[in-house]
Structure 1
Amino acid sequence: MTVHSQGAATSAPQDAPPPSAGPGSPPPRPSGSARPSPRGGRKSLPSGWLPYALVAPAVLSIAGLLLYPLGKNVLLSFQQVNKIELIQRKAPFIGLDNYTGLLGDAKFWTVVVRSFAFTAVNVALIMLLGSLIGILLNRLGKKMRLVLSMALVMAWAMPIVASVTVFQWLFDEQFGVANWVMRTLGFSGYDQHNWFETGFSTMVIIMILLVWGSVPFVALNMYAGLTTVGAELYEAAKMDGANGWQTFWKIVFPNLRPFFLVTTFLEVIWIFKAFTQVYAMRAGGPDRASETLPVFAYIEGQSQQHYGLAAAISVLTILMLVVVMSFYFRLILKQEDEQ
């Protein structure tokens, strides 16, 4: 840059050579060359066949452990495999006879309605109680929060068969705690009351067991989600005069909507496919009045030895669950598009 006598400055020509560097300075970098990435910067992801080669073992393992048995089960559903065919080692194809027989059976539809109603009531109670306990965890002090969290984890970690045994003892007709509590409260007729006398009462006890074992998962996740909601939002709602319900509905729920969607989705799958709790409690009794679809398929296959029919029941169960979950997937994808 040159300065005229009047004080105005003019730029040097664009092609002027740069000032000479010192003897120890690095050579100048050509104009337009890219600046090298800083040390420790993010590297580009591998491309080509390498990512597929890395995930291939996992995909092949899943295909071998899940897809192959599923394919064999679908094939079995089109065959007649009863006790006689099992002894004779024959499996004649009968087309859609297993499916048409099931769809025309009133008992099958009774089990279907019972399974969906059982799932809906359980999931509603689990999400309600789990959310309330999660909010309670967020408002407790450090010591009480630790005690309640440990109690929830212990209930969640208890083995299923052990928890079923405890509930069988609680509702035992001779030495059960439930009958003792009812007699202590002054109710008559509970000297040796059989809580498993009807299918409905048996389902209620199984429902209590499932809710007790599933609430900790929702409560702990709810508490973890509440810790991500900023305190300034609660303060703003308090200044606006919002009560507890308004604060939850206008602040907590919108911020934790993905949590509610995903957790409800997982609980629907967990409750709908619950087998051990239902079967271990009373094996679907009394008189098969507490059977859900997984237990119904197991009893038809193992107890009645109608293996082809049991395979058809399991395939229909999977299809029903996929149809129900497809609507839920649409809600989750819609939620992701809105964000």
Structure 2
Amino acid sequence: MTVDSQGTASAAPQDAPGRAAGKSQTPPPPSGAKESLRPPRGRRSLPSGLLPYLLVTPALLSMAVLLLYPLIRNVILSFQGVNKREMIRRETPWVGFENYTKLLGDPDFWSVVVRSLVVTAVNVALVMLIGTLVGMLLNRLGKKMRLVLSLALMFAWAMPIVASVTVFRWLFDEQFGVANWVMRSIGFSGYEQHNWFETGFSTLVIVTILLVWGSIPFVALNMYAALTTVGTELYEAAKMDGASGWRTFWSVVFPNLKPFFMITTFLEIIWIFKAFTQVYAMNQGGPDRSSETLPVFAYIEGMGQQHYGLAAAISILTIVMLLVAMSFYFRLILKQEDEQ
């Protein structure tokens, strides 16, 4: 019998305290704890280390079919003396390193290599400089003007290459070109029917303008996206210290966006170095093959001169040069990771 606080008595079973004690000693497990850890019946989970490889397998197979197999065939072709006669007779004579020794001893090949390197260096420098400035301008503009400029950049970036080459050929046309009209309007003589594609240098200048125009949107938009990750407090601290705009860029923007500049520069080097359509469609590598770059040189030797083995060797050497550039890039990446 128990007595409550108001003095009333109530009866309780004799074994109630014992049951309560027993229940308190073995509390029930949390509901759903074990059920969530048990896998559903009838299903087997994959090993944790196997799932990532299964997800990557389709991409690897696609790359092997679309990239690896043609690369292997191209390497094999570079060791064969396949010309027009061999193609007709379906012969594939092995010549070893003859194609490579012929190229490495050809002064025309080295002229094209130097020309390709100079064009790449000039284009990448201009693209990174102008693209960075446009990206910083996007970061400073208001919403409406930023939207207008971003749309203009996207339209320039989305224009097909052949269409853009056609527009540039019309701009620099001898008779109806805008470039000749502008030069005459500002007082220069001799531009009544000036041929802008008369020399290889002038042709490459026009190609450079086209490549820079087509590459700026990529750098500018990525630069603007990267600038949004830099905290405003860093700009305010630099402003309080009296830093100029140039000093703010080198002390605040560049250190924080160094990985962006590295990867973007590397991608631009690859894109400019292997640019083919812009150079070939502009003037077919002319006049007198004086505006050829390595991709155009390989195409003309293969499809134009029908020296297929030699063209394959040119493409392999081009890939080797890009691999050398990649090695420098990965070395910088590893060095930066060690510093961090």
Separation of aligned partners in 2, 1:245 and 1:107: 43
Give, as a single letter, the amino acid of the residue that structure 2 aligns with 1:331: L
For residue 117 of structure 1, what is the aligned residue in structure 2? 118
For residue 92 of structure 1, what is the aligned residue in structure 2? 93
Residue 214 to residue 38, structure 1, CA distance change in 2 (3 Å): farther
1:27-42 equivalence runs, <5 A: 27=28
For residue 277 of structure 1, what is the aligned residue in structure 2? 278
Separation of aligned partners in 2, 1:234 and 1:138: 13
What is the SS of the residue equivalent to 2:128? helix
What is the SS of the residue equivalent to 2:223? helix
Residue 141 to residue 110, structure 1, CA distance change in 2 (3 Å): same
Residue 327 to residue 83, structure 1, CA distance change in 2 (3 Å): same
For residue 105 of structure 2, what is the aligned residue in structure 1? 104
Deviates more, 1:136-145 or 1:327-336: 327-336
5+ residue gaps in structure 1? Answer: 1-18, 30-34
Deviates more, 1:91-100 or 1:321-330: 321-330
Q: Is 1:263 aligned with 2:264?
A: yes
Runs of 4+ in 1 over 3 A off after TM superposition: 19-23, 35-39, 48-51
Q: Is 1:152 aligned with 2:153?
A: yes
Give, as a single letter, the amino acid of the residue that structure 1 aligns with 2:308: Y
Give, as a single letter, the amino acid of the residue that structure 2 aligns with 1:77: S
For residue 290 of structure 1, what is the aligned residue in structure 2? 291
For residue 15 of structure 2, what is the aligned residue in structure 1? none
What is the SS of the residue equivalent to 2:285? coil
Residue 199 to residue 228, structure 1, CA distance change in 2 (3 Å): same
- Cα deviation for residue 148 of structure 1 reads 0.6
* Residue correspondences, number: 312
- Cα deviation for residue 335 of structure 1 reads 1.9
- Cα deviation for residue 36 of structure 1 reads 7.3
For residue 236 of structure 1, what is the aligned residue in structure 2? 237
The structure carrying a bigger helix percent of its residues is 2
Separation of aligned partners in 1, 2:35 and 2:59: 34
Give, as a single letter, the amino acid of the residue that structure 2 aligns with 1:267: E
Residue 246 to residue 53, structure 1, CA distance change in 2 (3 Å): same
Give, as a single letter, the amino acid of the residue that structure 2 aligns with 1:237: A
Give, as a single letter, the amino acid of the residue that structure 2 aligns with 1:80: G
Deviates more, 1:113-122 or 1:47-56: 47-56
- CA offset digits 1:45-89 (Å, max 9, x no partner): 942444333322221221111111101100001111111111111
For residue 314 of structure 1, what is the aligned residue in structure 2? 315
For residue 195 of structure 2, what is the aligned residue in structure 1? 194
Give, as a single letter, the amino acid of the residue that structure 1 aligns with 2:97: L
Residue 254 to residue 74, structure 1, CA distance change in 2 (3 Å): same
Residue 61 to residue 243, structure 1, CA distance change in 2 (3 Å): same
What is the SS of the residue equivalent to 2:144? helix
Give, as a single letter, the amino acid of the residue that structure 2 aligns with 1:208: I
RMSD: 2.2
What is the SS of the residue equivalent to 1:152? helix
Separation of aligned partners in 2, 1:247 and 1:169: 42
- CA offset digits 1:74-119 (Å, max 9, x no partner): 0001111111111111111011100000000000000000001100
Give, as a single letter, the amino acid of the residue that structure 2 aligns with 1:212: W
Give, as a single letter, the amino acid of the residue that structure 1 aligns with 2:253: V
What is the SS of the residue equivalent to 1:80? coil
Q: Which has the larger radius of gyration?
A: 2
Q: Is 1:333 aligned with 2:339?
A: no
Give, as a single letter, the amino acid of the residue that structure 2 aligns with 1:262: I
Residue 110 to residue 136, structure 1, CA distance change in 2 (3 Å): same
Give, as a single letter, the amino acid of the residue that structure 2 aligns with 1:103: L
Residue 148 to residue 26, structure 1, CA distance change in 2 (3 Å): same
TM-score when scaled to structure 2?
A: 0.87
- Cα deviation for residue 38 of structure 1 reads 8.9
For residue 15 of structure 1, what is the aligned residue in structure 2? none
For residue 59 of structure 2, what is the aligned residue in structure 1? 58
What is the SS of the residue equivalent to 1:146? helix
- Cα deviation for residue 321 of structure 1 reads 1.0
For residue 211 of structure 2, what is the aligned residue in structure 1? 210
- CA offset digits 1:223-257 (Å, max 9, x no partner): 01111111111110010010000000000000000
1:14-25 equivalence runs, <5 A: 20=21
Separation of aligned partners in 1, 2:49 and 2:185: 73
Separation of aligned partners in 1, 2:158 and 2:254: 28
Separation of aligned partners in 2, 1:21 and 1:201: 97
Deviates more, 1:44-53 or 1:66-75: 44-53
Residue 227 to residue 198, structure 1, CA distance change in 2 (3 Å): same
Separation of aligned partners in 1, 2:150 and 2:81: 51
5+ residue gaps in structure 2? Answer: 1-19, 38-44
- Cα deviation for residue 328 of structure 1 reads 1.3
Separation of aligned partners in 2, 1:130 and 1:272: 18
Q: Is 1:185 aligned with 2:182?
A: no
Give, as a single letter, the amino acid of the residue that structure 1 aligns with 2:197: F
